[in-house]
Structure 1
Amino acid sequence: MRITFGTVLWALLFIILIGYAIFWLYNWMKRKDAATMLSQAEFDQTKRQAQVIDVRESNDYHSAHIVGARNIPYSTVSQGGVPGLNKKQPIYLYDNGVTMAGRFANKLKAAGYDNIYILKGGFADWTGKTKRREEEE
C-alpha cells in the first residue's frame, strides 16, 4: 500500500477534527457541571435576586450591557483570584456567547461557589433591557 501526501493530509485533518470534538465535549461537560444555562425569560425574570456579572472586557461592557450588571472581565479572573462575590446569592454570568462565561463559571466552581447560571446565547442574543454608552453620558 502506497501512502500519498493526500492520504496523510486527510488523516491529519481527521485527527485534528477528532481532537477539536473531544476538546469541545470536555469544555461543554465542565461548563455543564459548573453552571446551569438559563433562557432569556428565566434570566430576565429572576435576575433581581442574583449577582449579574458581565464577563466581557470593559470596553464591551461600557458600550452596552444588561441593566443591573456589573463588569468583572474574565481576563482579570484568568490572571489570578476570583472576585469577592456573595456565595449565598445566585451568580448570573454572561458574555457575547457562552465560552468566557463557562470558563468563569469553572473558576467560580473551583473556588467553592454554587448557584452559578449562564445566559443561554449570551449578550449577542439578549433582547431585554440594556444600558448603552450614550445613556450613561
Structure 2
Amino acid sequence: MTMTPTPITTTSTNGAGRAPVADVIDVATVQQLLHADPTVRLIDVRTAGEYESAHIPGSYNVPLDSLGEHAAEFAALDHPVVLLCQTGARSTQAHGALTSAGKQQLHMLEGGMAAWQAAGGDVVHGTSEKWALDRQVRFVAGSLSLVGILASIAVPKAKWLAGGVASGLVFSAVSNTCAMGNVLMKLPYNRSNCDIEGVLSEMRLAA
C-alpha cells in the first residue's frame, strides 16, 4: 500500500512557525525525562552526515524529509517523543508534520544539538566531522553574496545577487524556514538511505 506523504509544515500555535511553548523543553528537562522514563524516544531529524559526526547516545536518526514521508507511521508510536536538530528550525518543521498526523506526547529540544553540547550532554562522536546544515547554509549564502559584490565591479547588476541572498535570509528568519537548507539536504553529500522500517522496529522494541 502506498503511503501518502504528510507535508512538512510548521505549527503556528505560538507565533509563526513555532511549536506550542509547552512542547519545547530545555536540555535539563530532556535529561530528566530520559532518566525517569525509558520509553522516551529521541528522534534526530538532521542529515545522516550531521548525525554521524556527533549525536546523542540512544537517539534515532530520521532526516526531516524522510520523517515527512512517513509522519503517520511515527505518529502512531505509543512512546513519548523528543525531536531535535542542530538549532531548532528543522525540529519545528518535524513537530508540525507529526502534530498534523495526530502524534501525542511530542516535545522538542530547545536549541537542538548545539544546546545539548553547550550544556555538556553526552555525545557520540564519529570518525569524521561533516558540516552541520546550518553551517553549509551560511557558507553558501556568504559565498553567493561575496560573488555578487565582486562581480558587480564589472557588472553592476550582479549586486542584485547579494541582495537576493540577503532577502532570502530575512524571509528565512521571519518564517523560521530555510529554502536553501531544504535544497542542500537533497545533495548526495547530505542524503542517506534511511531504513524507516528498521528504525520504527527498533523504536518499538527498545527497552
Return the TM-score normalized by structure 2.
Answer: 0.48
Q: Distance in 2 between matches of 1:26 and 1:83?
A: 24
Which residue of structure 2 aligns with residue 119 of structure 1?
109
Query: Is residue 38 from structure 1 mapped to residue 25 from structure 2 by the alignment?
Result: yes
Residue 25 of structure 1: how far off its partner (Å)? 3.2
Residues 27 and 55 (structure 1), Cα distance of their counterparts in 2 relative to 1, 3 Å cut: same
Which residue of structure 2 aligns with residue 6 of structure 1?
none
Return the TM-score normalized by structure 1.
Answer: 0.70
Higher share in strand: 1
The C-alpha deviation readout for 1:1-50, integer Å capped at 9, x for no partner, is: xxxxxxxxxxxxxxxxxxxxxxx93212xx217x7111111101212331
Q: Which amino acid aligns with 2:105?
A: N
How does 1:85-100 map onto structure 2 within 5 Å? 85=74, 87-100=77-90
Q: Distance in 1 between matches of 2:42 and 2:111?
A: 15
Higher RCO (CA < 8 A, seq sep 6+) = 1
Where in structure 1 are there 5+ consecutive unaligned residues? 1-23
Q: Which amino acid aligns with 2:84?
A: Y
Match of 1:27 among 17, 28, 33: 17
Where in structure 2 are there 5+ consecutive unaligned residues? 1-13, 128-207
Residue 70 of structure 1: how far off its partner (Å)? 0.6
Query: Is residue 130 from structure 1 mapped to residue 119 from structure 2 by the alignment?
Result: no
How does 1:2-13 map onto structure 2 within 5 Å? none
Specify the SS of the correspondent of 2:50: helix
Residue 106 of structure 1: how far off its partner (Å)? 0.7
Identity, in percent, stands at 24
Specify the SS of the correspondent of 2:66: helix
Q: Which amino acid aligns with 2:94?
A: F
Residue range with higher mean Cα deviation, 107-116 or 45-54: 45-54
> How many residues align structurally?
108
